[in-house]
Chain A
Amino acid sequence: MTGYGVVSAIGVGKDETLGALKQKRSGLGKIAYLKTAHDEFPVGEVKLSNDEMKAMLGIRGDVPTTRTSLLGMLALREALEDSRLVGDDLRQVAFVSGTTVGGMDKSEQYYLDFLENDDRNAYIATHDCGACTEMIADHFGRFASVTTLSTACSSAANAIIYGARLIKSGEADIVVVGGSECITKFHLNGFNSLMILDRDFCRPFDAGRAGINLGEGAAFLVLENADHARGRGVKPYAQLAGYGNACDAYHQTASSPDGDGAFLAMQKAIAMGGIGAGQVDYVNAHGTGTRDNDSSESAAMRRVFGDAVPPVSSTKAFTGHTTSASGSIECAICLLAMQHRFLPANLNYKGSDGCVVPVTETKENVDLRYVLCNSFGFGGNDTSLLLKNNDIANY
């Protein structure tokens, strides 16, 4: 992993993100940008309007775009700069992004126009997931190949795996992978209809947890094989040492009580890394704050780690649940934690009802050699990524 960029409710870019994490500054708050009747739910919005993002990116105001794309472009810009990739370089780079809502922010705004007149036809073409990915990619040049994962809340994590596999198989030497997703009325209402949104700030793993706060954002990571990185003279932040994807195969929206899918995903990732579970120094949990997820994920972690569960935190009380983008945003958080030697806190935690007990304060001066990052999606699309710190491992 030789570069990354991240945008979420706690900041645009790595520096702002790092500051917020270390100082326990949550990005959750009252809905300000999304137009919805449901202002009772706190959310983690990126504190920028679409017009402000367009101005930052040099995109004309009248160009049809979606919020998912704009968030993605901001994150991708940082990732490319960080990894010193420009213009023509992209011709050799595969781009893989994850999203589920895609351009739904505009579709829900103009749906009746789509049906009844021709005023907003341009946004019919920006609706689908692939269109959003291409808008993000095309802003910077021509990538060698482009595709989109859509596995709900594990989309970005699965995009990372697919990209890694492109490298492993020799299809590509370098890939840019991650995901992007904005908050929409569509999924805010969807999650509300499932009664899994919390009216207070979310409290992952806490006994009183009552659901999710939605968030939004994007993160992209540059992965390349070691020779390619050496050839370009770029130093890796970390290595993707393992990954696991498994299906809970239990229910469309609920997790199995024993966390079968989560267990298998973590187990595969650790096995692929060639380490024992005891060598994992930190788990960035999926930890959405729903009753179901957190108990299921806790059960899965106990199956993997036994009595010695490593320090765990969910950073969703910082960013909100950034759904399809959460896999890459949280991967970026793990990279920051490794690089700056701290454990991010699990905010709003008061007490256990039997779930794992998370880290509640930022813990500084911690060497993190192996970090596990979990992302679980509807339908039991469970994915776990194992990151290895190269500075400690003497790359």
Chain B
Amino acid sequence: MTANRVYVYGASQLSVQQPLSEDWMKEPIVLEAGYNRSVEPDYRQYIQPLEARRMGKLLKRAVVVAGDALTRAGVTMPDAIVTGTGLGCVESTEFFLDAMCREGESLLKPTYFMQSTHNTISSSLAIRLRCHGYNATYAHKSISFESALKDAVMQVEEESIGTAMVCGFDEVTPSYYGLLKKIGFLGREGEASGESAVAVVIGGKQEGEKAICSIAGLKMLYCPDYSQMRSAVSQMLESAGVKAEEVGGVLLGYNGSERSRVLYDGLRKGALGEFEPLHFKSIFGECYTASALAFYASVCCMAAGAIPEVMRMDVRGTKPCKSILVVNFDDEKNCAITLLK
């Protein structure tokens, strides 16, 4: 049985870079090490002010980026909405938690609680679109986005859906940045933090539709060693009919810290020696769903047919791009390998 192929039709982002734009490919906003927040779009263009006031930051970003991705893809109603988020709606969670811990268990307001669950965003998008299709949210650390993508890809492959909107969202509030810094997840020396709001529209190919690229492989591994990763990559390339030299490069999570340098240098040496390393966190920053931005950036490379200089580590100039890999091993336990063709 050959599964239906899965294509990418559109992708959009709100992050520390110019909102809803690919300006970053030529002239990225220069990211400083330390704490960074997303560049907000002019929400008045997209959401009624009265409504916007009741929405958390992340939800507003989600609504705007989802709308843009659907427009780019030419899809009005996806058959499924699947979301990945490492930490969910942190701002609302903190409001509720802070009030409860400081002021006690009376007089707590429902709004922040309602907006605190991880699935708030995916279901809010469905409510706005009146989308009754499949709806799910994944919250598993650095592979939250890939888990959501896997779910949607399997459903397109088995043809139980035609299209899906797959999203990756994380916000990093100032106080949560402080907490994550304490445990060394964010805020290491040299590292820039970021936030992610990414929406991607995927689907099976139908006549007359113009896809950007196909998702030719997606595999998750848990606590793999280098040889397992190496064989997962070569199996993926083989079954996709892609030769190693056709791969424009591999996006890796170098984030400016010494830890990530050691981690990804080791990975390159151990498993990915033949591919040109590409970086994206120096452009978009670090957060749990940074890999959603890696996926978006890869789709941009595929759309342009070239990898921009800003993503290349050693070599000057652009490089043609017919195929591209993303290898996410950020937490040294969960590994996700994605191949676009």
Chain A residues engaging chain B, CB cutoff 8 angstroms: 36-38, 100, 102, 107-108, 111-112, 114-115, 118, 121, 124-125, 128-131, 133-134, 137, 142-152, 158, 162, 165-166, 168-169, 171, 185-187, 189-190, 192-194, 245-253, 260-261, 264, 377-381
Contacts and interface: CB of A to CB of B under 8 A. Distances in A.
Interface of B: 3, 81, 85-88, 96-98, 100-102, 104-106, 108-110, 113-120, 122-124, 126-127, 129-141, 143-144, 147, 150-151, 154-155, 157-158, 175, 178-180, 182-183, 185, 220-223, 333-334
Contacts of A165: 151, 154-155, 158
B133 A148 contact: no
B133 A150 contact: no
A148 B222 contact: no
Nearest to B220: A145
A381 B223 CA distance: 31
A118 B182 contact: yes
A264 B123 CA distance: 16
A151 B134 CA distance: 12
B105 A247 contact: no
A331 B97 CA distance: 32
A264 B110 CA distance: 28
Contacts of A151: 118-119, 122, 135-137
Contacts of B334: 130, 146
A147 B145 CA distance: 11
A186 to B, nearest CB: 7
B129 A249 contact: yes
Given A190-B110, A247-B132, A378-B114, A129 B139 contact: yes
A189 B183 contact: no
8 contacts: A100-B119, A151-B122, A152-B117, A249-B129, A249-B131, A379-B122, A379-B126, A381-B135
A258 to B, nearest CB: 12
B182 A124 contact: yes
A318 to B, nearest CB: 25
A115 B179 CA distance: 7
Contact of B141 (A131, A158, A169): A131
A121 to B, nearest CB: 5
Contacts of A253: 110, 114
Contact of B127 (A112, A133, A250, A264): A250
A246 B134 contact: yes
Instruction: Identify the interface centre among B96, B129, B134, B183: most chain A CB within 10 Å of its CB.
Output: B134
Given A128-B86, A128-B139, A186-B96, A147 B147 contact: yes
Residue with the greatest number of chain A CB neighbours at <10 A, chosen from B97, B118, B122, B127: B118
Given A115-B178, A148-B139, A129 B118 contact: yes
B95 to A, nearest CB: 12
Most buried by A among B87, B110, B130, B154: B110
